Amino acid sequence: MGIFRWVVGAGLLAGVGTVAATIVWPIGKEVEEIALVGDVNKGAYLARASGCIACHTNAEEGGAPLAGGAPLKTDFGTFYPPNLTTDPDYGMGSWSAEDFARAVRQGISPDGEPYYPTFTYPFYANFSDQDIADLWAAFQTVPPVGEAAPEHQVTFPFDQRWGLKLWRAAFLPEPNTASEPGRSEAWNRGKELVNGATHCAACHTPRNVAGARIISERFSGNANLPVGGKAPSILSGDLLAEGWTADDLAYALRSGITPSGDVFGGSMAEVVQFGTRFLTDDDLDAMATYIMDNEI
């Protein structure tokens, strides 16, 4: 009995110690100074491609651009994409370019807190300093909106942000965006976009109980999207079997129209409306080339 109590006590102590250590455990990497001059148009283009505008704008409710998005209901709680306008109190107006770089590439707030992975930062980890400078320049053009997005409604234990450090340690994937020799320029550009900025896998890959993508099942679809929707498989084999060509896919990303004469519904309609229809023909062709020719 005495020993039992000691063991439990030691266990509790160790547990508390582990939690305390986790809370103070530093995460992320040092951010070098972002000294490059950004190009507003390129940044706005990248923001479109990356879904910043789609997710952080509540178009449905007539919200101002980037002033905070529609709620995302997940198994872990309801998340409210925050205000990314230039407002100093409720947006990013008081941030430095380095704060922004860390938030986008590493998923860490200026206060050093890890973001929830509903923010698709894991896909942006390989953005170059120039990409960041361009985005940052573009975000400076957003009119301030002095209104906070609602706090996330997350239940215990997921409301404990330190837990996200464990999540990061266990699940944070590196985006596979590197060019491969021997593949065409279009294919490599497609790979960079699909696995990076446009983060197709965020919806088209199933997630485990911890909400992390199951990398081995990449692109095989997800029947349990946050908004209650379903994302079909975009494995090239499945798309081919349904009669898609790369050309069809590029056009669908532009227009929402599928080869059967149907149109995208669900959240893919939104992806096209606020994102992919603004991309260049070259980029859409590149994405389609990569997705269709991507034997996994």
Partner 1 sequence: MRTGLVILTTASIIAATAALAHKGATGVVLERMQGMTALGDVVKELTPMMRGRTPFDADQVRAGADVMVTHAGQQMTSLFPEGSVQPVSKVLPSIWEDWDEFVELAEQLELRAEGLKLSADVGLAASQADQAASMMGGGMMGSDQAPAMGGGMSGSGDMMTVDMFATMPTDTAFAAVAQTCSACHQKFRAEDD
136 vs 158 by CB, closer to partner 1:
136
CB of 91 to partner 1, least distance (A): 12
CB of 284 to partner 1, least distance (A): 10
Helix axis angle, 281-292 to 246-255, nearest 10°: 130
Asked if 106 and 29 count as a contact pair (C-beta separation under 8 A), the reply is yes
Cα(150)–Cα(238) distance, integer angstroms: 40
Asked if 49 and 38 count as a contact pair (C-beta separation under 8 A), the reply is no
Q: Which residue has the tokens 């409210």?
A: 80
The count of other CB atoms within 10 Å of the CB of residue 91 is 25
15 vs 88 by CB, closer to partner 1:
88
The count of other CB atoms within 10 Å of the CB of residue 179 is 11
Task: Give 142's contacts (C-beta < 8 A, 6+ positions apart).
Answer: 65, 66, 84, 85, 86, 91
CB of 140 to partner 1, least distance (A): 9
Cα(192)–Cα(296) distance, integer angstroms: 16
208 vs 255 by CB, closer to partner 1:
255
9 vs 143 by CB, closer to partner 1:
143
Cα(206)–Cα(193) distance, integer angstroms: 20
Q: Which residues here bind partner 1, judged by CB under 8 A?
A: 40-42, 44-45, 47-48, 53, 57, 59, 62-63, 65-66, 138-139, 141-142, 223, 229-230, 232, 251, 254-257, 259-267, 269-270, 272-274, 277-281
CB of 247 to partner 1, least distance (A): 9
CB of 55 to partner 1, least distance (A): 11
CB of 160 to partner 1, least distance (A): 33
161 vs 254 by CB, closer to partner 1:
254
Nearest alpha-carbon partner for 46 in 100, 113, 112: 100
26 vs 62 by CB, closer to partner 1:
62
